[in-house]
């Protein structure tokens, strides 16, 4: 009996990460999150033109956000993803290797926007209802870009 339980646990430990990664990728793919996004695909990244590049990885998915020269890009690892209605998705992420947050995004056609950014363990959201709480500015709508066009602008 102990051998059977030990074998089951071993199989779970071997296959669970791959199944989880596929689930994250599948959820992101179904939502249409993978790919290249920018406020304006024709312009280079800068403080007024965020660029986001989302890629599938062996452990699920990652994305980077760039504000252009002089800024270190933010790096996100998607820990979990679940749909929130027909046009929403909730992501548990790790930012820059150590900050965990929950992001809620909405998609309208070929545009996407962060509506909520809630750090784990904090009652104070960074973004609420699409507005950055620190400065009152609305989060930008990002448009899906053709990868070749975005890379050419880099």
Alpha-carbon gap, residue 13 to 11, rounded angstroms: 5
Element (H, E) at 61: strand 60-66
**Cα 147 from chain centroid?**
17
Judged against a pLDDT cut of 70, whether residue 141 lies above it is answered with: yes
Q: What integer is the mean pLDDT of 135-140?
A: 96
The contacts of residue 16 (CB under 8 Å, 6+ apart) are none
In eight-state DSSP terms, residue 46 is: B
Chain centroid offset of residue 88 CA: 12
pLDDT the model gives residue 101: 95
pLDDT for residue 138: 96
pLDDT of amino acid 117: 96
Comparing 49 with 15, the larger pLDDT belongs to: 49
pLDDT of residue 57: 85
Using pLDDT thresholds of 50, 70 and 90, give the confidence band for residue 146: confident
pLDDT in the model for residue 9:
42
Q: Which two structure tokens, joined as six digits, stand for 34?
A: 């993978």
Q: What is the pTM of this model?
A: 0.78
């Amino acid at each position: 009996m102990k051998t059977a339980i030990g074998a089951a646990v071993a199989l779970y430990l071997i296959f669970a990460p791959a199944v989880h990664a596929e689930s994250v990728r599948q959820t992101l793919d179904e939502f249409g999150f993978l790919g290249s996004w920018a406020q304006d695909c024709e312009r280079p990244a800068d403080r007024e033109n965020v660029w986001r590049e989302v890629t599938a990885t062996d452990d699920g998915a990652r994305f980077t956000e760039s504000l252009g020269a002089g800024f270190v890009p933010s790096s996100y690892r998607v820990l979990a993803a679940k749909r929130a209605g027909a046009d929403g998705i909730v992501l548990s992420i790790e930012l820059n290797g150590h900050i965990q947050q929950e992001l809620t995004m909405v998609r309208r056609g070929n545009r996407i926007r962060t509506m909520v950014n809630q750090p784990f363990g904090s009652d104070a959201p960074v973004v609420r209802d699409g507005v950055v709480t620190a400065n009152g500015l609305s989060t930008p709508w990002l448009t899906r870009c053709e990868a070749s066009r975005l890379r050419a602008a880099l």
